[in-house]
Chains A and B, each alone.
Chain A
């Protein structure tokens, strides 16, 4: 019964989305306030209906209702409750429902918090947003209905893939989707602006917080996926340039560029056309990601089931939205008025450089991701494009970006002083040189370029801090004055500094762990000892154990450092009951120096076990950097300007020119 109600709610949401697509846009066209007013209640209603549908599916999962085909295929009654819930989006149908639910959530948020937007803009935004929801509701109902029943109902479900039964992965998809789908707001605003044929600073001020919120969720979502892959897959790496990873990374790169160009548009009313284009492209990449992951053209953890009908449907949706968006852009972009002038060396100039490098690097990732698909469909030859490709293309583009990054915030708007900026970065540069020397002193091996990479990260970190130090006049003003200035710093400035600091920290982690990772593979018998990166590991043996829905063989390693006991690590090999599938669980000792990472392999005929031990120096910096970027976004969102000033100014700015 509840499942049928959920199904019905989904159909109703489709109908509401259809109404919301047509009526408010028609109202905006005819300047009819009553028609436009349909938008807000429709958006909220659509969200409630989809939420009801989602709850109904969750209910079916929690109660293990195997008469629902989707539950029977992806759940099992013996699973812990948290994985029954996360199982809702651990499969194709459920995850698409989550996708469209988050889309509706963003639409409802615009309806609720967008009271100060110009009415026609709001109506158009809600219409565009609803048209996306309409398309995806249709997609779910036609090709991937999670509410389909099975008759007769099986006694037991098939279970969730064990490697997906993990706390980090329970939250990875919702966060990633919030990021992906959040860019739909930027897209809807861009299309609405093109329909109306004008944009202004208020537009950018509106788009930025939404983009920032989406970007934050995408950042932490990607970081969580990377962290999960690191400890769950048992091969000691944190990023593999897997096409599915790229599918989420491309919108992130484009979204990062969008955040920066929207800044120029908000402050200086320049780069309007470019920002609008970038908003369209960012969401297009989100759609492309959804297509790549959901259509089954890629093989990976995420390609749940291969069904050509779905692929063709999503491809059709992509053509409509991306093609339509770009066509509208081509038609109307010329009407947008150009904004302020600026010299090449200026804050704007720096942000343009940022945009050029970010979008170009995004393009190289796109080529690397799509080239194998294109080549196979044209020549039939099968190739793989792996990390060497991306290291050779993406890497070199990041170097100038990171090198230029600290200079940006020191340049004034309109016309900047490069020499002045360089002087203020003298301290950061000096620390970076020290970092090079220290890296050479500490690392006895590894590529000779690595210390420069670490120094680049340090330069970015110190450059970010230098900006704050300069603003609060650290070292030149009295202590009270410094503290007063520190208290008065705008939150957005603190956010910028934190985010850039996080980038620097991440770069240090990436370079250190890539260049100085050590790996040992050997066969160990109980009692054997091995030295890895200053740690002494003693293999104690393997014992069987039983978990809630798996059996496992647990190895134990006593770890000591300079004779001091540190921790006992328990890497294991598990066999899940349903589906009966083996997985490896790594035993990890985490510290600031780096992670000691142990994996238990197969038993040997001679009585020992194959064991793989990694030391990954500073690897935690990567995720800590991402968490700092996430927090930085949050700090920036609380900026006074976004809470108070923008909407009021926006309305005042719009009022005199309704007839335009």
Chain B
């Protein structure tokens, strides 16, 4: 086998593997990617029930209801619209009313969001950046009163987005 053929073979197999990978990536990006929405987005954009999305906002004050079992109900708000969320499991340590959260799951036809994972931030002053940004775009004032300000530069050591355990 000549040097040229050898190189051709090497490049050919490299290209073959790369194109297989590219096809896989395209498929995966089409099917597995999860979009982020605020409660207002959901009412505006008519997100179909059953589609996997991430819902972000603040936990509405006074909305957290624990059932007899491990079920929890709460509401996520961006101060304009509010969506009811149902979740079964242990909420993250920093889950609290008035605090920013991101829940991942699906909407039911009745408009309840059934979450299978809930993320909160491991920091007192934290709000997920997606939430902070979309709240800001909607003109919601942050950092006054008892609401939680966006993490300022150099505020605390770690801002950890720790998802709650996932329910399978």
Residues of A whose CB lies within 8 Å of any CB of B are 73-74, 87, 90-91, 158-161, 163-164, 233-237, 240, 299-307, 338, 341-344, 352-353, 356-357, 360-361, 363-364, 367-368, 371, 381-386, 388-389, 392-393, 396-397, 519, 521-523, 573, 579-584, 599, 601-602, 604-606, 610, 612
Among A90, A606, A610, find the residue whose CB has the most chain B CB atoms closer than 10 A.
A610
Q: Given the complex, which residues of B lie within 8 Å of A344, measured CB to CB?
A: 1, 6, 9
> What are 7 of the A-B contact pairs (CB < 8 Å)?
A341-B1, A384-B34, A385-B32, A393-B21, A397-B24, A581-B93, A582-B93
Residues of B whose CB lies within 8 Å of any CB of A are 1, 3, 6, 9-10, 13-14, 17-18, 20-21, 24-25, 27-29, 31-36, 54, 66, 68-70, 88-91, 93-94, 104, 121-124, 128-130, 151, 153-168
Q: Given the complex, which residues of A lie within 8 Å of B123, measured CB to CB?
A: 161, 581
Q: Please give me the residue from chain A that is nearest to B137 by CB atom.
A: A380
Smallest distance from the beta carbon of A217 to chain B beta carbons, Å?
22
Q: Please give me the residue from chain A that is nearest to B162 by CB atom.
A: A233
Among A158, A304, A341, A522, find the residue whose CB has the most chain B CB atoms closer than 10 A.
A304
Cα distance A118–B94 in the bound complex, in angstroms: 58
Cα distance A354–B160 in the bound complex, in angstroms: 35
Q: A521-B89, A522-B70 are in contact. Are A161 and B122 (CB under 8 A)?
A: yes
Q: Please give me the residue from chain B that is nearest to A606 by CB atom.
A: B68
Cα distance A381–B90 in the bound complex, in angstroms: 29
Q: A164-B157, A235-B164, A599-B90 are in contact. Are A383 and B34 (CB under 8 A)?
A: yes
Which of A160, A342, A361, A388 contacts B157, CB < 8 Å?
A160
Q: Please give me the residue from chain B that is nearest to A400 by CB atom.
A: B17
Q: Please give me the residue from chain B that is nearest to A342 by CB atom.
A: B6
Which of B3, B70, B166 contacts A338, CB < 8 Å?
B3
Contact in complex: A523, B93 (CB < 8 Å) = no
Smallest distance from the beta carbon of A93 to chain B beta carbons, Å?
9
Cα distance A596–B20 in the bound complex, in angstroms: 39
Contact in complex: A602, B160 (CB < 8 Å) = no
Contact in complex: B32, A388 (CB < 8 Å) = yes
Smallest distance from the beta carbon of B99 to chain A beta carbons, Å?
12
Q: Given the complex, which residues of B lie within 8 Å of A356, measured CB to CB?
A: 13-14, 17
Contact in complex: A161, B160 (CB < 8 Å) = yes
Q: Please give me the residue from chain B that is nearest to A300 by CB atom.
A: B161
Cα distance A240–B162 in the bound complex, in angstroms: 10
Among B10, B88, B155, find the residue whose CB has the most chain A CB atoms closer than 10 A.
B10
Q: Given the complex, which residues of A lie within 8 Å of B155, measured CB to CB?
A: 305
Q: Please give me the residue from chain B that is nearest to A584 by CB atom.
A: B93
Smallest distance from the beta carbon of B50 to chain A beta carbons, Å?
16
Contact in complex: A161, B158 (CB < 8 Å) = yes
Which of B20, B31, B158, B167 contacts A521, CB < 8 Å?
B167
Contact in complex: B33, A383 (CB < 8 Å) = yes
Contact in complex: A523, B90 (CB < 8 Å) = no
Q: Given the complex, which residues of B lie within 8 Å of A605, measured CB to CB?
A: 66
Among B33, B69, B128, find the residue whose CB has the most chain A CB atoms closer than 10 A.
B33
Q: Given the complex, which residues of A lie within 8 Å of B124, measured CB to CB?
A: 579-581
Cα distance A6–B14 in the bound complex, in angstroms: 50
Cα distance A529–B27 in the bound complex, in angstroms: 45
Q: A573-B93, A604-B66 are in contact. Are A357 and B17 (CB under 8 A)?
A: yes
Q: Given the complex, which residues of A lie within 8 Å of B14, measured CB to CB?
A: 356, 360
Contact in complex: A363, B128 (CB < 8 Å) = no
Apart from A235-B165, A343-B1, A389-B28, 12 more pairs, CB < 8 Å: A235-B166, A299-B121, A305-B153, A307-B153, A344-B1, A382-B130, A385-B32, A386-B32, A396-B24, A581-B123, A582-B93, A602-B91
Among A371, A382, A573, A583, find the residue whose CB has the most chain B CB atoms closer than 10 A.
A382
Contact in complex: B32, A581 (CB < 8 Å) = no
Smallest distance from the beta carbon of B136 to chain A beta carbons, Å?
13
Q: Given the complex, which residues of B lie within 8 Å of A523, measured CB to CB?
A: 68-70
